[in-house]
Amino acid sequence: MAYVFVQHLSPNHESALPEILKKSAKIPVLQIKDNIHLEPDNFYIIPANKIVTTVDSILKLAPLNDKNHQVKVIDLFFSSLQ
């Protein structure tokens, strides 16, 4: 199983979560990059100022902008899982 952590961050705030989790996680902790393929036993974290969706086990990033800022990032991700 792959774990994807989607949190809502201020567009101006870099998350320290990847570094914090790397200290205690027993599996690899990766910040999501565009077109990264989900692999089992990995923990993926959304970067700041991005939205994430998935298509065929590939994570896709897009910028968080005024047009999609009002949409909940987690809702977009869950919708893409269907």
DSSP secondary structure of 8-56:
---TT----HHHHHHHH-SS-EEE--TTEEP-TT-EEEPPTTEEEEEET
Domain ranges of the chain: 3-80
Residue 69 has pLDDT above 60, yes or no: no
Q: What is the pTM of this model?
A: 0.84
pLDDT digits (tens, 9 = 90+) for 6-53: 987 766 777 788 889 999 999 999 999 999 999 999 999 998 888 999
